[in-house]
């Protein structure tokens, strides 16, 4: 019973959320076209119904890419380069319950490219 309560708590708190992290310190190195890169790693969590239907949140690749590019625009990007994407569905974790309510997540990672004239100075390394 405690495990079921813990699973319900995790679904309620993590279902439908997005966790992102960025890395901007490339020690002065530039992209091939002399852009200042920033790397974004974004993961979208959801609870799906019958493995494929969105129930709490949406962990589809379409939604993950849209969120990734929204964050890239906030950073001043003029271009992005997605280097990796992956979708995981845990239908096998606790059958038959997980065949009905399926935890899933989609990860999108890539580089945000900003031209020199619009790129802010990188933060000082301490």
pLDDT 10s digits, 74-116: 988 888 999 999 999 998 998 889 889 999 999 999 999 887 6
Predicted TM-score (pTM) of this structure? 0.74
pLDDT class for 125, splitting at 50, 70, 90? low
pLDDT digits (tens, 9 = 90+) for 23-74: 988 888 887 777 888 999 999 999 999 988 888 889 999 999 999 999 999 9
Q: Are 55 and 49 in contact (CB under 8 A)?
A: yes
Q: Are 17 and 57 in contact (CB under 8 A)?
A: yes
pLDDT class for 117, splitting at 50, 70, 90? very low
Count of alpha carbons within 13 Å of 17, Cβ hemisphere only? 8
């Amino acid at each position: 019973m405690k495990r079921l309560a813990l699973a319900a708590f995790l679904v309620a708190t993590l279902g439908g959320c997005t966790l992102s992290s960025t890395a901007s310190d490339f020690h002065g190195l530039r992209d091939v076209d002399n852009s200042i890169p920033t790397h974004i790693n974004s993961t979208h969590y959801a609870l799906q119904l019958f493995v494929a239907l969105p129930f709490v949140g949406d962990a589809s690749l379409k939604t993950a890419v849209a969120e990734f590019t929204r964050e890239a625009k906030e950073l001043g990007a003029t271009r992005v380069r997605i280097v990796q994407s992956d979708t995981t569905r845990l239908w096998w974790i606790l059958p038959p319950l997980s065949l009905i309510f399926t935890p899933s997540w989609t990860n999108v990672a890539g580089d945000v490219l900003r031209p020199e004239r619009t790129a802010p100075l990188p933060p000082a390394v301490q």
